[in-house]
Amino acid sequence: MKGTYLGEFEEVVLLAVAIRAGDAYGAAVVNEIEQQMGRSVNLGAVHSALNRLQEKGLVSSEMGGMTAERGGRRKRLYSVTAYGRRALEEIRQLRNQMWDAIPGTAWGQLNMQ
Amino acid sequence: MSPPRWPGYLLRWFCAPHRVEEMEGDLDELFQQRIREVGLRKARRRYVRDVASLLRPSLMKREQYDYHRPTNTTMLRNYLKIAFRNLITNRVYSFINIGGLAVGMAVAMLTGLWLYDELSYNRYFQRYDRIAQVMQNQIQNGEIKSSRSLPFPLIHELKTSYKSHFKHIVTSTYPEDYILTSGEKKLSKTGQFIDAEAPEMFTLQMIKGSWASLQDHQSILLSATTANALFGDADPIGRRVKLNTNMDVKVTGVYNDFPLNTEFHNTQFLASWDYFVATNAYMREKKWDNHAVSIYAERQPNISFEQATASIQNAELNVIRHLESMKGEAATNPQIWLNPMHNWHLYSDFKNGVASNDSVQYVWLVGLIGFFVLLLACINFMNLSTACSEKRAKEVGIRKAIGSLRSQLIGQFLSESLLVVVIAFSLAVLIVTVSLSWFNELAAKQMSMLWTNWFFWLFSLGFIMLTSLLSGSYPAFYLTSFQPVKVLKGAGLARIQLGRLASLPRKVLVVTQFTVSITLIICTIVVYRQIQFAKNRPVGYSREGLLMVPMQSSDFYGKTDLLRRELTNTGAVTDVAESQSPITGVWSSNDGFRWKGMAMASTDKFATLDISPEYAKTIGWQFVAGRNFSKEFASDSSGFVINETAAKLMGLAHPVGETIHWKSQWMTNNVEKPYRILGVVKDMVMESPFKSVKPTVFLLAGNPNWINIRLNPAVNTRAALPQIEAVFKKLIPTAPFEYKFADDEYATKFRSEERIGKLASFFAVLAVFISCLGLFGLASFVAEQRTKEIGIRKVLGASVAKLWAMLSTDFIVLVLIAFGIAMPTTYYFLDGWLKNYQYRTELSWWIFAASGLGALIVTLLTVSYQSIKAALVNPIKSLRSE
């Protein structure tokens, strides 16, 4: 397994996979990120991020679910592994912990200036 | 409503195959969706952008099979093992295959080295591209004559009026033999007197001294071997050397010997041109009619040879047309031109102002033959390896059934043939290394393996790749395409499928092989017959026991009578005579003869040889009419003895007693003098035995330069030589005793023809050998394939003789076809070759018949061994079911 450091984009992709649970594949992840974040992403960036996540063991994949829209081609369906879920939770916890550590006066002083 | 196509190709080409499906799916899905959301144009643009973003290295990485890594080396080892086992099982085929290919490659390498040597002639000089020899074209008797000898004042003309075109202009004498004396040591060496700029222009590799070392008048540069021969290990710099008897020089430099494939390979020392002129009264006159100078020039980098030639071409004419004494010369329209160094070797003969390309054709002909021998070997190799591989169809089927991929099988067969070719190549390199010294002797060259030449390795590598690919391609691509079920079900299926189509190219190849072989056999026979024909030519004098001594310095002159007396007194010598030029050469020829019934002098050139009266007895003249010169008649000094050719040319029925008038600038001081014919002798072959004899007049003019000595046949040569040497040492102590045997010298006249003959027979033997190897292999293969058929025929009553005939006829027909092709082509070429010789043998029909018959017999012998073996097999064995 590669290092477990999760980049910002990788985190977003991992979250998108979690949101689209059961139907998370390249195009779906692109749609999800574009909807949620309001910015356009390249398919290549998503594919390469998914690839990296899988190498790190945060997601797993299997082939399946062909539709006419895709010209009868199969999708690679990703799902978050237990390890992936724990990584997301750890990030969230770390953020919360840091939020909690911000003293109440911080915002006030900023506003004063 | 579809996306652009080309990004899809890119995707499929670059991205990992196992990802392409999902990627294309995603791309299509997003595209359809975007058409609805943002319209077709934008959707298309996004599509292209997405594809571009997908072309990244992490997505191009091919899928790794789990089982690849651990089994790769195991399978490779297995391939190697199978390859070696195959080589050992088919021992005979392998031997024929590898041996034949190795011999072919070795021959190709040797010819390649020879070609390289010929084409790199003179490249030793670093300024190869910029050096030229100044030449002169003159019109004589309506024909352009090109000459390297230039008039002396041209040096001054070029160096003053045309200096701007040239970086260096270097004047030189011709290479000539000189006696080098240092203390007690005396050596005769060939050398040139040359301008001081020469070492720099010809970029001499100086061991001692520098390029400027020739600037002093009395300086000399020695080649390393000469320096070693004169001074041993002692430092030669500053030592004094005497050249002949009249020149004193000091050694100022030593240079590496010029390699054999350069223009100056004979030159063993370089001395100062200015000193030569200073010590030579004739040269000091610097007259326009002194044609005894060679001039070399190095052009300026910004000027081409053509431009330089254009400006200097009238350099001589512009001056001499104003000189009264040179009117005759000016009428020949002398044109000066530059002959670039790269043309010196292969374009050295000029006919009517145009360089003949005979030697270039000769070089390419040898190259072509080498190529053909290699081709023969390759044909064999391909033939045999495809034939053998047909037996491996089953192996392919089993491998496939077990799970081999086709790509793996292709790799296996290709690497197998690569292995065999590499073995053959190493063998070839070995053969070449071992035989190179022998080949050098044969070809009279100094070639060495080009171990450090990247071109050689590149070429070898390319050749190895090509041969292994070609010979391995049939099993690799064809055999592996079968479905395992079919191959395994009927063992013979693959073979049947090949059928007639597969054997046709093989037949063509056999015909090609034998055409080349028969051609070479015929050539060899004809070359040898031509040599033998010329060797059997009556020479008109007796060569055995005839010693020739050049009179190398002025000390010889005036001592000839003394020498004659002393030499005959030793008892080892019967006769001594002087002559102009040795008996094996004609070094003097002149025109200006006028005989009965002619108003004007003839333009025919006669050999004019100055002799002493003893000449007749010494060399064994055979008189047809008249008598020899005699010392008793003073009038004989204006007498001629002529040869039969001269008598025939003059058309005189009774030449003896006739008077001939002769006017020659050199021999009679431009005054017409009458000469009386005293005798006629049989023609003597003094020059090339392949040429017709020149009309010759012998006379007593009193300045011969060779001494001919007839040894006493009763005395052993080995005992006679020291006695003769002692006499020379006593009477002429300043010159080393140097001699040549007439029969040795005569033998050298055949050297180049004998070389062609040896080369031709070398190639012919190899070509026949290789062809027979191939034929042997093929015959045995065919016999093996037809084992069952032969068995059935035997059961049905065929006799051994009939079976033998059946199996052999196929091959005989092929050889006959080859003979039919070879005969007219060789006739055409050899007819042209023989036309080069004035004295030549005939192309008789039996040569062709004999070589055809020979090829047929060899074929029969080769094939019969296999066919009789096959025909003798008990049908029970061959028909037994497996």
- The alpha-carbon gap from A18 to the nearest alpha carbon of chain B, in Å, equals 19
- pLDDT the model gives residue A113: 45
Give the mean model confidence (pLDDT) for residues B588-615.
85
- pLDDT the model gives residue B496: 44
- The alpha-carbon gap from A55 to the nearest alpha carbon of chain B, in Å, equals 11
Q: For an interface test with B, which of A47, A50, A54, A62 has the most B Cβ atoms less than 10 Å from its Cβ?
A: A47
Give A25's contacts in chain B (Cβ within 8 Å). 22, 26
Task: Give the amino acid at B658.
Answer: E
Q: Identify which of A26, A51, A76 has the shortest CB distance to residue B58.
A: A51
Q: Identify which of B21, B30, B52 has the shortest CB distance to residue A74.
A: B21
- The alpha-carbon gap from A83 to the nearest alpha carbon of chain B, in Å, equals 23
Residue of A nearest to B55 (CA): A44
What are B692-719's pLDDT values in tens digits?
888 999 988 877 888 999 998 888 888 8
Residues ≥6 apart with Cβ < 8 Å to B549 = B706, B707, B708, B709, B728, B737, B738, B739, B740
Residues ≥6 apart with Cβ < 8 Å to B735 = B179, B186, B552, B553, B555, B556, B728
- The alpha-carbon gap from B21 to the nearest alpha carbon of chain A, in Å, equals 6
Interchain contact A48–B (C-beta under 8 A)? yes
pLDDT grade for B490, boundaries at 50, 70 and 90 = low
Is there a contact between B24 and A26 if contact means CB atoms under 8 Å apart? Answer: no
Stretch (H or E) spanning B407: helix B406-443
Give the mean model confidence (pLDDT) for residues B329-350.
86
Interchain contact B43–A (C-beta under 8 A)? no
Task: Give DSSP secondary structure letters for B807-820.
Answer: HHHHHHHHHHHHHH
Interchain contact B10–A (C-beta under 8 A)? no
Interchain contact A30–B (C-beta under 8 A)? yes
Spell out the alpha helix ranges (H) of B573-716: 615-619, 644-650
Q: What is the largest CA-CA distance in chain A?
A: 61
Task: Give the amino acid at B800.
Answer: V
Give the mean model confidence (pLDDT) for residues B604-615.
88
Percent of chain B with pLDDT over 70: 97
- pLDDT the model gives residue B255: 92
Nearest alpha-carbon partner for B580 in B710, B741, B703, B695: B703
Is there a contact between B23 and A26 if contact means CB atoms under 8 Å apart? Answer: yes
What are B201-229's pLDDT values in tens digits?
999 899 988 888 888 888 999 999 999 98
Give the mean model confidence (pLDDT) for residues B796-810.
88
- The alpha-carbon gap from A109 to the nearest alpha carbon of chain B, in Å, equals 45
CB B649 within 8 A of CB B706: no
Percent of chain B with pLDDT over 90: 10
Q: How many CA atoms lie within 13 A of B286 on its CB side?
A: 10
pTM summary value: 0.69
Q: Identify which of B28, B29, B53 has the shortest CB distance to residue A42.
A: B53
What are A6-57's pLDDT values in tens digits?
888 999 999 999 999 888 999 999 999 999 988 889 999 999 999 999 988 9
Instruction: Report the alpha-carbon angle B482-B486-B490, nearest 5.
Output: 125
- pLDDT the model gives residue B765: 86
- pLDDT the model gives residue A2: 44
Q: For an interface test with A, which of B24, B30, B32 has the most A Cβ atoms less than 10 Å from its Cβ?
A: B30
Give B21's contacts in chain A (Cβ within 8 Å). 73-74
Residue of B nearest to A45 (CA): B53
- pLDDT the model gives residue B619: 87
Give the mean model confidence (pLDDT) for residues B454-465.
87
Interchain contact B54–A (C-beta under 8 A)? yes
Q: Higher-confidence residue: B758 or A16?
A: A16
Give B26's contacts in chain A (Cβ within 8 Å). 25-27, 30, 43, 47, 70, 75
pLDDT grade for A1, boundaries at 50, 70 and 90 = very low
Interchain contact A73–B (C-beta under 8 A)? yes
Give the mean model confidence (pLDDT) for residues A93-107.
87
Q: Higher-confidence residue: A58 or B354?
A: A58
Please say whether the dihedral angle defined by the alpha carbons of residues B332, B335, B341 and B346, taken in this order, is positive or negative.
negative
Average pLDDT, chain B: 85
User: How does strand B166-172 pair with strand B291-299?
Assistant: antiparallel
Give the mean model confidence (pLDDT) for residues B85-106.
86
Q: For chain B, which residues make up each domain, given as ranges?
A: 6-60, 131-344, 360-534+751-879, 546-748
pLDDT grade for B296, boundaries at 50, 70 and 90 = very high
Residues ≥6 apart with Cβ < 8 Å to B561 = none
- pLDDT the model gives residue B65: 60
- pLDDT the model gives residue B494: 44
Q: Identify which of A43, A52, A71 has the shortest CB distance to residue B50.
A: A43
- pLDDT the model gives residue A109: 59
Give the mean model confidence (pLDDT) for residues A72-92.
90
**Ordered domains of chain A (ranges, CATH):** 8-100 (1.10.10.10)
Q: Of B531-540, B634-643, B770-779, which range is least confident?
A: B770-779
Give the C-alpha separation, B762 to B854, whole Å: 17
pLDDT grade for B501, boundaries at 50, 70 and 90 = low
Q: Identify which of A44, A45, A71 has the shortest CB distance to residue B25.
A: A71
pLDDT at B498 over 60: no
User: What torsion do the CA atoms of B574, B579, B584, B588 make, to the nearest 10 degrees?
Assistant: -170
Give the C-alpha separation, B696 to B559, whole Å: 27
